[in-house]
A and B are shown apart, each in its own frame.
Chain A
Amino acid sequence: MFTPDEWQALRISLEVAARSVALSLPFAIAVAWLLARRPFFGRTLLDAAFHLPLVLPPVVVGYFLLLIFGSRGPIGAWLSEHFGLRLVFTTSGAALATAVMSFPLVVRAIRLSMENIDPGLEAAARTLGARGWDRFFSITLPLSLPGILAGGIVAFSASLGEFGAVITFVSNIPGETRTLSLALYTAIQTPDGDVAAVRIAALSVSLGLAGLLLSEWLARFARRRLGP
């Protein structure tokens, strides 16, 4: 029913999304915690900076990524020199682009969850002998689980749909960076690609549905665990 190319696009989509979530969650948790719990000088500025991808055109974000993480960009050159890691035109690069794009949404979800935690619980943990990191991992993190799950789901779905930043940063290479969105775009551009486009669209719809069901189930699980 689907061609090998289409299966490959699905696989790349899932891989990019999964890597994107894995990449953004730890940073998002750290940033959310800073913004939620640590008043510091320049917090508003940092908050605004992390929200930039939300208001910039994705193509602009992709272009900036190219400037910074490209082969001759400051970080890109360093990564390829020390780790042999190339981001431009690779799946890893696509994951980075989608992670950057979805980052503000992930931070927002986790931060809301963290701000809802009663600071009294952390104070109680202190009086029971829990120091900084111990307290974070035993109280703050598990209680932010609903937000982390929600953030992860948001990041995953946003990654599946990301187009502009990906095509600008890592281009549209079959077998490497051609996700479902890019495959659909390619099919539309191809003469007689209508049937393929419909198939890919159908694939996207089923993937989206599955994601929604999964997220609903996860949310229910989190509610059961933490309850009021």
Chain B
Amino acid sequence: MLEFDCSLRQGHFSLEVAFSAPSPGVTALFGRSGAGKSTVVSLLSGLLAAARGRIVLEGTVLFDSAAGVNVPAEHRAVGCVFQDARLFPHLDVRHNLEYGLRRVRGRQAPIRFDAVVDLLGLAALLARRIRELSGGERQRVALGRALLAQPRLLLLDEPLASLDAERRDEVLPYLERLREQLGIPIVYVSHDFDEVLRLAEHLVLLDRGRIVASGPLREMCLSEELHAIVGASVIGSVLEGIADRIDAAERLATIRCDELSLRVALAQIEPGSRVRLYVPADDVLIALEPPRHVSARNILSVEITRLEILNGSVLVHLAVAGTTLLARITHSAVRELDLKAGKRCFALVKAVAAQGRRFDRRAVGP
């Protein structure tokens, strides 16, 4: 568990942020640029000291302005991966990886060199010079270097922001594996909501140095504060469930989320795996009667709980079997169907629209 409560003033910018992050788990700091995300990371790593506040990691006080405690960065065991990788250009990949490992002094080193090389696919790169690496490879080496320093907290400060889409897709699976296997809290800073959807379990929403909202990602996806920050096209609901039945021939999986069963186009998955589903609000249709002869694989009986006015459109919150789906529709549709809170209707969700990904946590290590 990480507890953070700090305030700071830098010129015209003031920061006042308090949140806690579970461990293990990925907590995303999300917000526009200039929201103060990187400042929070600097405070956590010890590269910057807050004017007032307290940071406690697994019961150890890292910073406490009242008690005059400020553990220096080199003693915090807080691993950092920066947007620009910051690999040491005069060392090859192997020596970059070993840099932190050699300085572990006195603490245990349960994260082994070979395991990290294996996890991040670095075996072929070990003898390379840094300038010979691609952007994606650099970030993987930076990740490995941070892990081998045996961190008690891992900070990922926009690790994918400087990469093009192709390189991002090359690194993301490694981050997902990391999330599954690492037993320490991870703080993930991003302004890309897609990355947050793939990795985060908790979301802290920052704007102009303040926390606007925070909580489990599932709940946060329904919050108006988030909808005000992200583009309307990425608004959607997140469901978590278990893969129930897999029809490999039809490439359809049935995912059970509490009482709700959804059929989604998802083939490569074993029954029983935990799955996170993301259902974009733009891909949910509303009908007053159950339609017949329709291609959508899911027709759900739902109840409207809320109409949220967005800029130019309406976000309809639909309660179904203990969870909430979002549908973004026009004002004219709302008028024509006479939609209002409390009304029962049907939600149509295409199997190919719901994006499913395995979301397991296999090992809960030290």
Residues of A participating in the B interface, judged by any CB pair closer than 8 Å: 118, 120-121, 123-131, 134-135, 138-139, 142-143, 145, 225-228
Q: Using Cβ atoms and an 8 Å threshold, which residues of chain A touch B72?
A: 126
Q: Using Cβ atoms and an 8 Å threshold, which residues of chain A touch B129?
A: 227
Which residues of B80-136 have CB atoms within 8 Å of chain A's CB atoms? Answer: 80, 82, 84, 86, 88-90, 99-100, 103-105, 129, 131
Q: Which residue of A lies closest to B48 (CB)?
A: A123
The distance in angstroms between the C-alpha atoms of A4 and B67, with both chains bound, is 74
Q: Which of A123, A130, A142, A143 contacts B103 (CB 8 A)?
A: A130
Q: Tell me whether B222 is interfacial, beta carbon within 8 Å.
A: no
Residues of B participating in the A interface, judged by any CB pair closer than 8 Å: 45-47, 72-80, 82, 84, 86, 88-90, 99-100, 103-105, 129, 131, 145-146, 149
The distance in angstroms between the C-alpha atoms of A129 and B88, with both chains bound, is 14
The distance in angstroms between the C-alpha atoms of A126 and B82, with both chains bound, is 13
Cβ B80 vs Cβ A124 within 8 A: yes
Q: Which of A124, A129, A143, A228 contacts B90 (CB 8 A)?
A: A143
Cβ A225 vs Cβ B74 within 8 A: no
Q: Which of A130, A139, A142, A143 contacts B74 (CB 8 A)?
A: A130
The distance in angstroms between the C-alpha atoms of A126 and B77, with both chains bound, is 10
Q: Using Cβ atoms and an 8 Å threshold, which residues of chain B touch A126?
A: 46-47, 72-74
Q: Could you list 5 further interchain pairs (A-B, Cβ under 8 angstroms) beyond the known A127-B78, A127-B146, A130-B74?
A: A121-B88, A126-B46, A129-B75, A138-B99, A142-B90
Closest-CB distance, B173 to chain A (whole angstroms) = 24
Cβ B89 vs Cβ A129 within 8 A: no
Q: Using Cβ atoms and an 8 Å threshold, which residues of chain B touch A123?
A: 47, 73, 86
Most buried by B among A124, A134, A138, A226: A124
Cβ B90 vs Cβ A127 within 8 A: no
Q: Which residue of B lies closest to A126 (CB)?
A: B73
The distance in angstroms between the C-alpha atoms of A225 and B146, with both chains bound, is 24
Cβ B89 vs Cβ A127 within 8 A: no
Q: Which residue of A lies closest to B85 (CB)?
A: A124
Closest-CB distance, B42 to chain A (whole angstroms) = 9
Q: Using Cβ atoms and an 8 Å threshold, which residues of chain A touch B86?
A: 118, 120-121, 123-124
The distance in angstroms between the C-alpha atoms of A227 and B132, with both chains bound, is 10
Q: Which residue of A lies closest to B80 (CB)?
A: A127
Q: Using Cβ atoms and an 8 Å threshold, which residues of chain B touch A139?
A: 88
Q: Using Cβ atoms and an 8 Å threshold, which residues of chain A touch B75?
A: 129
Q: Which of A118, A127, A226 contacts B45 (CB 8 A)?
A: A127
Q: Using Cβ atoms and an 8 Å threshold, which residues of chain A touch B84?
A: 120
Q: Using Cβ atoms and an 8 Å threshold, which residues of chain B touch A134?
A: 103
Cβ B89 vs Cβ A226 within 8 A: yes
Cβ A143 vs Cβ B149 within 8 A: no
Cβ A129 vs Cβ B104 within 8 A: yes
Q: Using Cβ atoms and an 8 Å threshold, which residues of chain A touch B145?
A: 128
Q: Using Cβ atoms and an 8 Å threshold, which residues of chain A touch B82?
A: 120, 124
A123-B47, A125-B99, A126-B47 known; A131+B74 contact, CB < 8 A = yes
Q: Which of B46, B89, B131, B149 contacts A128 (CB 8 A)?
A: B149
Cβ B90 vs Cβ A225 within 8 A: yes
Cβ A129 vs Cβ B47 within 8 A: no
A143-B89, A226-B90 known; A127+B103 contact, CB < 8 A = no
Closest 4 CB pairs of A and B: A128-B100, A129-B103, A124-B86, A126-B73
